[in-house]
Amino acid sequence: MLLKEQRLLNESSLSEFLLLEFSDVRELQILHFFAFLVFYLAAVAGNVLIISAVASDYHLHTPMYFFLMNLAILDVGQVSVIYPKSMTNALLNTRHISYSGCVAQVLLFLFFIISDYFLLTVMAYDRYVAICNPLHYSMLMNKQACIQMVTIVWTSSILCAMLHTGGTFAPALCSNVIDQFFCEIPQLINHACSDLYLIEMGVIFFNSIIGLGCFIFIVVTYVHIFTAVLRIPSVQGRQKAFSTCLPHLIVFSIFVFTGYFAYLKPTFNSASKLDLAFTLIYTTVPPLMNPLIYSMRNKEIKHALSKLLDLSYSSRNTWSSL
């Protein structure tokens, strides 16, 4: 009888999963929907503004802003993969997500997260060349080289995401109840009922080594950058150099510390407020803060945004007067 129930449970887990419900009180579910909606619209709007500003301003067609535009695209993708489904479930008072939907969510979310990390590594190299080796910057960071770097970032990220996704769903799952508001790998591994979960643990260890290598590369890079900046004789020159480096360093720090806290903490058999808090931090803070950090610290971005918003306002007034 027990084996039959287990078989039925495994069969049901192959068709759908049940996500975490923030509350069974209808009013709180509606509050959850509107809270996520406000965040989602703010994150998407902020990143879309960055994308539009860089694309529309010829002066921003440089490697640094090309990478920044790609980072904004990845942030839009990241929040779009997980939050609309959670908002829909809250609005419709349901917890269901299909098996294929869960696989797609894991694959795409991992792709955007890993791409973010690799791209931030590339951006650190870009700042290193610009400040420590400025005479060779145009040669090393030409248009073709930038496109190749971004292509490598996207290609390697999708391969890593496919490897993780395959390792996550390879073992049979003893439960289809996910104690999180989206399909998160630690929660899925926690429900594995065979030793095949060791495949994903091996993949995580391998990619952790790569991630550690990127982290060390960025730290060493910034040691060289700050050493070079402090040697700049003029105060204005040092401020300009810091204004291009500090936003990237802040964004990287937020991304790394929130992500590592979420994925390196031990998982438990039941949901906890700490699990939910860490997940909300690493999925909401970076996409929301990136546009604010870059727009507040960068005069060129602020100038491009003001021109873009003035143009939009002028166009709206022109159409309204016709």
**Domain ranges across the chain:** 20-299
pLDDT score of 316: 52
pLDDT score of 42: 93
Q: Which residues of 94-132 are buried (b: 16+ CB within 10 A; e: fewer)?
A: ebebebeebbebbbbbbbbbbbbbbbbbbbbbbbbbbbe
Tokens of 69: 């535009």
Q: Report whether pLDDT(149) > 60.
A: yes
Q: Is residue 196 a contact partner of residue 170, using CB atoms and an 8 Å limit?
A: yes
Name beta bridge partners: 173: 192
Closest of 68, 66, 67, 160 to residue 110, by C-alpha = 160
Three-class secondary structure assignment of the chain: CHHHHHHHHHHHHCCEEECCCCCCCHHHHHHHHHHHHHHHHHHHHHHHHHHHHHHHCHHHCCHHHHHHHHHHHHHHHHHHHHHHHHHHHHHHCCCEEEHHHHHHHHHHHHHHHHHHHHHHHHHHHHHHHHHHCHHHHHHHCCHHHHHHHHHHHHHHHHHHHHHHHHHHHCCCECCCECCCCCCCHHHHHHCECCCCHHHHHHHHHHHHHHHHHHHHHHHHHHHHHHHHHHCCCCHHHHHHHHHHHHHHHHHHHHHHHHHHHHHHCCCCCCCCHHHHHHHHHHHHHHHHHHHHHHHHHCHHHHHHHHHHHHHHHHHHHHHHHC
pLDDT more than 70, % of the chain: 83
Q: Report whether pLDDT(5) > 50.
A: no
Residue 145 confidence class, pLDDT cut points 50, 70, 90: very high
Q: Report whether pLDDT(31) > 80.
A: yes
pLDDT more than 90, % of the chain: 30
Closest of 212, 216, 211 to residue 115, by C-alpha = 211
Q: Which one-letter amino acid corresponds to residue 284?
A: T
Tokens of 98: 């299909």
Residue carrying structure tokens 């996910």: 178
Q: Measured between alpha carbons, how far is 137 from 245 in angstroms, rounded to an integer?
A: 16
Tokens of 64: 């640094």
Which one of 72-76, 89-93, 276-280, 286-290 scores highest in mean pLDDT?
Answer: 72-76
Question: What count of residues does the chain have?
Answer: 322
Q: Measured between alpha carbons, how far is 221 from 127 in angstroms, rounded to an integer?
A: 9
CATH 1.20.1070.10 fits 20-299, yes or no: yes
Q: What is the mean pLDDT of the chain?
A: 81
Q: Which one-letter amino acid corresponds to residue 36?
A: F
pLDDT score of 197: 62
Closest of 281, 272, 320, 300 to residue 54, by C-alpha = 300
- CA torsion sign for 147, 47, 302, 125 is negative
Query: Where is pLDDT greater, at 154 or 204?
Result: 154
Stretch 229-246: mean pLDDT, rounded? 77
- CA torsion sign for 219, 70, 275, 16 is negative
